[in-house]
């Protein structure tokens, strides 16, 4: 039963954590519209792969992170710089409205690698899973044994993939309804990453 709960907690926290618009799920929508669902799925697989590593690191080193909060601060400072640069990048992409989508296709030939890269830049993932695992462990709902950690990590990866997969389907709906253009998503990504940069600045300083 404990093993099953570890999987459920990992799945549900990751799934719900990806519900709201973010750099990763908005990029999924953008790729799905411009390059098709298969490439969006490859991107989601790349993201989920890194999420599994981030979740494992966070849970495995829960005790270490509790005793060394300065490590979290370092991650947040790095995230601040990354989100600021990404916000500028996506805004620049938005300004290139007159360019066709072939430029995006050339930049992102392998969307699985893009998923790996952008998910790695998400510095909030380790603090997020650290917080979740700490709370669950304090309530006795998540045992920090190897098997429980492994199932929690697997659940986290699957939960992330399923939410991103849902976003890729949502992109198909938007395309059919002609409600969104892919270049507008660059503006959304710019705003989202900009807001994350501001939030991180507040937390750090």
pLDDT in tens, 28-64: 888 888 888 899 999 999 999 999 999 998 888 776 7
Question: What pLDDT score does 30 carry?
Answer: 85
Residue 199 lies in a domain: no
Q: 140 vs 77, which has greater pLDDT? A: 140
d(CA 14, CA 155): 8
d(CA 78, CA 47): 19
Q: 95 vs 53, which has greater pLDDT? A: 53
What average pLDDT does range 53-76 have in this prediction?
A: 75
What average pLDDT does range 110-115 have in this prediction?
A: 91
Residue 113 lies in a domain: yes
Answer yes or no: is pLDDT of 68 > 80. no
Q: What is the total count of domains within the chain?
A: 1
Instruction: Give the Cα-Cα-Cα angle 110, 46, 51 (nearest 5 degrees).
Output: 155
pLDDT-above-70 percentage for the chain: 70
Q: Name the band, by pLDDT with cuts 50, 70 and 90, for residue 100.
A: very low
Q: Look up residue 19 and give its DSSP letter.
A: S
Question: What pLDDT score does 98 carry?
Answer: 44
Instruction: Give the Cα-Cα-Cα angle 110, 31, 90 (nearest 5 degrees).
Output: 100
Answer yes or no: is pLDDT of 120 > 80. yes
pLDDT-above-90 percentage for the chain: 24
Residue 57 lies in a domain: yes
Residue 52 lies in a domain: yes
Residue 118 lies in a domain: yes
Residue 192 lies in a domain: no
Question: What pLDDT score does 81 carry?
Answer: 76
d(CA 51, CA 197): 21
CB-based contacts of 173-178 (< 8 A; 24+ apart in sequence): 174/29, 174/33, 175/33
Residue 141 lies in a domain: yes
d(CA 24, CA 17): 11
Q: Look up residue 66 and give its DSSP letter.
A: H
pLDDT digits (tens, 9 = 90+) for 139-173: 888 888 889 999 999 999 999 999 999 988 887 66
Residue 136 lies in a domain: yes
Q: 2 vs 119, which has greater pLDDT? A: 119
Contacts of 22 (CB under 8 A, 6+ apart): 192
| Range of the structural domain that residue 50 is part of | 2-80+99-177
């Amino acid at each position: 039963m404990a093993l099953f709960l570890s999987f459920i907690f990992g799945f549900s926290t990751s799934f719900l954590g990806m519900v709201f618009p973010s750099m990763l799920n908005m990029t999924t929508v953008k790729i799905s519209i411009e390059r098709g669902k298969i490439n969006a799925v490859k991107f989601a697989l790349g993201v989920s792969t890194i999420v599994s590593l981030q979740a494992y690191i966070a849970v495995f080193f829960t005790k270490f992170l509790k005793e060394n909060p300065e490590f979290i601060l370092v991650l947040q400072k790095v995230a601040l710089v990354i989100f600021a640069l990404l916000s500028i990048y996506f805004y620049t992409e938005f300004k290139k409205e007159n360019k066709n989508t072939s430029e995006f296709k050339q930049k992102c030939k392998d969307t699985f690698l893009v998923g790996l890269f952008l998910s790695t830049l998400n510095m909030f993932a380790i603090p997020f899973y650290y917080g979740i695992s700490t709370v669950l462990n304090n309530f006795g709902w998540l045992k920090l044994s190897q098997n429980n950690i492994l199932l929690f990590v697997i659940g986290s990866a699957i939960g992330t993939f399923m939410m991103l997969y849902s976003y890729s389907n949502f992109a198909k709906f938007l395309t059919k309804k002609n409600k969104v253009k892919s270049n507008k998503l660059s503006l959304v990504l710019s705003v989202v990453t900009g807001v994350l940069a501001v939030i991180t600045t507040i937390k750090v300083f």
